Amino acid sequence: MKRILFALLLSAGITSVSMAQSAQYEGAMTKQIAMLDDYNNFNPQKLQELANTFERIGAAEKTQWLPFYYAGYCNVMNAFLEKDQSKVDAIADKAAADIAIADTLSPKNDEVYVVKSLIASSRISVDPQSRGKQYGMEAANWQSEAAKINSENPRVYILQGQSLFYTPEQFGGSKTEAKKKFELALQKFSTFKPASSIAPHWGERQAQHLISQIK
């Protein structure tokens, strides 16, 4: 009897501890993601701070993939924003390190692959002539891997659209094809339900913005 009581008490204790942790986690993540969703924070300094915070949350939680996912996302966005080409690789490496942890914590995750695709694309700007082929292929591969896992993920189509949008026509790029992809992405957004309030949900605004640039 005593033993059962003790066990009950113990398990109640554990539950309450993990509940407490979860509450802190959800709260912290919600707050950071709200900041990330705010377009005013889309600058290198803020993104770095957000990446740092996500990394701290990830290090404390240990088993959650989302903090590392967001840290990788913030870092890769910084890689795209970096103007000094010689620094891009180091930032992309950092993003890749974050996303590698997310990948181990949550294998075969389409959202993780989306960021992997972004990381490959970010490296092209360092030397487009030499790198275009290799990293362009790698980015495309991650896009198709992500689509295989979840063809309803709108971000996959945004990335495909972006590739078409930024590739010159003679290399197979096409603004009209890009527009179709963005429209498809927006259509997927209308039915897309993030798994939770803190699950990845970015992209709708980007798609709308890019569509508005296509006449």
Kindly state the smallest distance separating residue 7's Cβ from other proteins, in Å: 12
Identify residues 76-115 at the interface with other proteins (CB under 8 A).
Answer: 85-86, 90-91, 93-94
What lies within 8 Å, CB to CB, of 175 at 6+ separation is 164, 165, 214
Task: Report if residue 132 touches other proteins, rule: CB under 8 A.
Answer: yes
* 3-class SS string, 88-116: HHHHHHHHHHHHHHHHHHCCCCHHHHHHH
**93 or 183: whose CB is closer to other proteins?**
93
Task: Report if residue 7 touches other proteins, rule: CB under 8 A.
Answer: no
Q: Which of 125, 149, 150, 204 binds other proteins (CB under 8 A)?
A: 125
Q: Residue 35 is inside which H or E element, if any?
A: helix 2-37
Q: Which of 11, 13, 19, 208 binds other proteins (CB under 8 A)?
A: 13
How far is residue 23's CA from residue 17's CA, in Å, rounded to a whole number? 10
**83 or 215: whose CB is closer to other proteins?**
83
Cβ atoms of 99 and 110 within 8 Å: the answer is no
How far is residue 24's CA from residue 75's CA, in Å, rounded to a whole number? 24
Tell me the per-residue interface mask from 43 to 82 with other proteins, x by CB under 8 A, - otherwise. Answer: --x--xx--xx-xxx-xx-x--------------------
Task: Report if residue 172 touches other proteins, rule: CB under 8 A.
Answer: yes
Q: Which of 168, 176, 190, 191 binds other proteins (CB under 8 A)?
A: 168
Q: Residue 57 is inside which H or E element, if any?
A: helix 44-61
Q: Which of 115, 139, 158, 159 binds other proteins (CB under 8 A)?
A: 139
Task: Report if residue 184 touches other proteins, rule: CB under 8 A.
Answer: no
**163 or 191: whose CB is closer to other proteins?**
163
How far is residue 78's CA from residue 114's CA, in Å, rounded to a whole number? 16
How far is residue 163's CA from residue 21's CA, in Å, rounded to a whole number? 40
How far is residue 14's CA from residue 175's CA, in Å, rounded to a whole number? 55
With CA atoms as reference, report the closest residue to 62 among 119, 21, 20: 21
Query: What are the structure tokens assigned to 168, written together?
Result: 């010159």
Which residues contact other proteins (rule: CB under 8 A)? 2, 6, 9, 13, 24, 28, 45, 48-49, 52-53, 55-57, 59-60, 62, 85-86, 90-91, 93-94, 121, 124-125, 127-134, 136-140, 163-164, 166-174
